[in-house]
Structure 1
């Protein structure tokens, strides 16, 4: 199903990607192919749903953010897209996604906010609250940073 280049690209993408201006070009150079070929194969993997997404892991404590707040919001179904877009406009929001609700958990939008202090996180939450029409929310703080890793393939 996969040739040696496919396996090498998937392997590179499942590990740490270099923090360089053109990471796909660097991968291509390491594999002895063109950047266009790397990008074409990644697109093909996505089209075939072999790769769903390529994501970054932020080690927030290492970059100076000591506070980490997951804010859960109860947003009416017909306002989710507009509200999530507004939430994502805040640079402090690093994740924003929808989750199913249940009778004991009405919160369907989750946002992750990183800050240098608890007060800074709460200030951002207040600004979002005022901007999105005051939906019910809860702030859940991380007590410790858990190990973050990706599955390594090939």
Structure 2
């Protein structure tokens, strides 16, 4: 059962978190609790499956990246965890996740790569392919940013 503090925490976490060295300490201060108590409540909400995850949205253009590419990969299922971790270790990748495949869409691993140019993004793709041995992929470039918002709960 959610209490008032839990609702306040969820309201705050669904908004933008300030980019600072200790964001949870600042949130805890705003809630008039200590950071350990906040993190304990967040952990409890996650264990209860009330809070599934805390996601970050990268506004790549505001962060200084003029190009980004979603790269979809065909990775052997038995190696998807291993290769996914390797791909996610690249600093140019902000997202790496597994998806289901379809008869006409065999791609099961997705990476979002950010760079200063199309060539820079493609160089990262080539490095990943070389290191992982995965050579079946497609590069999908963003042309327009349509939506970057999250669900809102307990709003006034």
Local SS of the residue matching 2:94:
strand
In the other structure, the counterpart of 2:86 is 86
Structure 1 residue 108: Cα displacement? 0.4
Q: Distance in 2 between matches of 1:73 and 1:134?
A: 7
Q: How high is the TM-score relative to the length of structure 1? A: 0.95
Structure 1 residue 3: Cα displacement? 1.7
Q: CA RMSD in A?
A: 1.1
Q: Distance in 2 between matches of 1:37 and 1:23?
A: 14
Runs of 4+ in structure 1 off by over 6 angstroms are none
In the other structure, the counterpart of 2:70 is 70
Structure 1 residue 23: Cα displacement? 1.2
Structure 1 residue 136: Cα displacement? 0.3
Would the aligned equivalents of 1:75 and 1:135 in 2 still touch at CA under 8 Å?
no
In the other structure, the counterpart of 1:19 is 19
Q: Distance in 2 between matches of 1:121 and 1:11?
A: 36
Q: Distance in 2 between matches of 1:55 and 1:132?
A: 27
Gaps of 5+ in 1: none
In the other structure, the counterpart of 1:105 is 105
Q: Distance in 1 between matches of 2:134 and 2:101?
A: 19
2:138 is aligned with 1:145? no
Q: How many residues align?
A: 154
Q: Distance in 1 between matches of 2:102 and 2:152?
A: 34
Local SS of the residue matching 1:138:
strand
Gaps of 5+ in 2: none
Local SS of the residue matching 2:96:
strand
Structure 1 residue 135: Cα displacement? 2.8
